[in-house]
Amino acid sequence: MHPDVHVVGDLRRLERPLLIAAFDGQNGGTAVATVEYLEEHWGAVTVAEIEPDRHFDFTVQRPSVRREDGVRVIDWPEARFSVARPAGADRDVVLFVGEEPHLRWRSYMEAFAAVAEELGVERTIIVNAHPGGAAHTRPIPLHLVSADDLTIEEFGLSSRAPRYQGPGSFSMVIAAEERVRGRGGVSLSAVAPFYVAEEANPYTVRAFVQAIDRALGSHTDLEEVDGWVAESDIALIDTFAAQPELERVVRELERDYDGAIPLEMLEDEPVDPQAVVDDVEAFLRSLRPRDASDGPPSEAGDGRRA
């Protein structure tokens, strides 16, 4: 076993295990909340952890201090593997939650791969979410990146090849490495409504859980996340009352979504998230008053610099 792996449970080969992972880095709150929700509601048992000492700069990200029963407790960055057999599923599932490391990415990646291999993981799904032009009142746009035919069939979602080029996140590195190692390395991505002011977006968490349930045939209790969504609905009513221009943006997003596909297909066919983002950005530009310093409008007449 890799020297950075700390075994805390029964680390044995499982039955056709699928690994679902989330990394708490940029925009990672929603993905981590999703996997933690599955851990709790599937009764997952922790089996291994990746030691943080060699992978984090604690002058950049200091450990958290809290009091528990009158005693001071230190919370170090976590990277834990847990296993579960969700109700209704015909296979085991490995769940991973970890923070994006600062240092020695290759070593961290090797530790991750060592546990996946020990457990006999067949495929790895990396959960990702980013804020964008999606309406909370409509199905959250989901898609797969670099999915194989079997994964596309199981999730019932569209798939595309990776298009991004530039500085990569650790979840991108893991996904690429897992593909090389023959374990899929598929990304399950979502567009989270950008105006929901919560680190973990409840609408997107619910969409992720529902998509994973469909793929596995599992049955996850949604009562808690539904209550979270209801609370967010109420908070947004107050937000829109204070910011009517924001409500106008959301109504525009709804019209864009409804006009993109037939109403009877809304539950099955997500919109192209980039198209929605482009539309909402254009709409926001149209709302922004043009200052004289902006110069003359472009030939497109959208108020941008010529």
Give pLDDT, residue 303.
39
pLDDT band of residue 275 (cuts 50, 70, 90) is low
Instruction: Work out the average pLDDT over 204-209.
Output: 96
Dump the DSSP string for 10-58. -----SS-EEEEEEESTT-HHHHHHHHHHHHHHT-EEEEEE-STTT--T
What's the pLDDT tens digit per position in 105-160? 999 999 999 999 999 999 999 999 988 999 999 999 999 998 888 899 999 998 88
Give pLDDT, residue 26.
59
Residues 260/142/99/43 CA torsion (nearest 10 deg): 140
pLDDT band of residue 93 (cuts 50, 70, 90) is very high
What's the pLDDT tens digit per position in 228-247? 999 999 999 999 999 999 99
> Between these two residues, 92 and 299, which has the higher pLDDT value?
92
Q: DSSP 3-state assignment of 82?
A: strand
Q: DSSP 3-state assignment of 121?
A: coil
Q: DSSP 3-state assignment of 272?
A: coil
Q: Which CATH superfamily is domain 5-222 in?
A: PAC-like subunit (3.40.50.10900)
Share of the chain above pLDDT 70, in %: 83
Give pLDDT, residue 198.
82
> Between these two residues, 98 and 282, which has the higher pLDDT value?
98
Average pLDDT, rounded, for the chain: 85
Give pLDDT, residue 208.
97
Give pLDDT, residue 297.
39
Find out whether 212 and 38 touch, Cβ atoms under 8 Å: yes
Give pLDDT, residue 264.
36
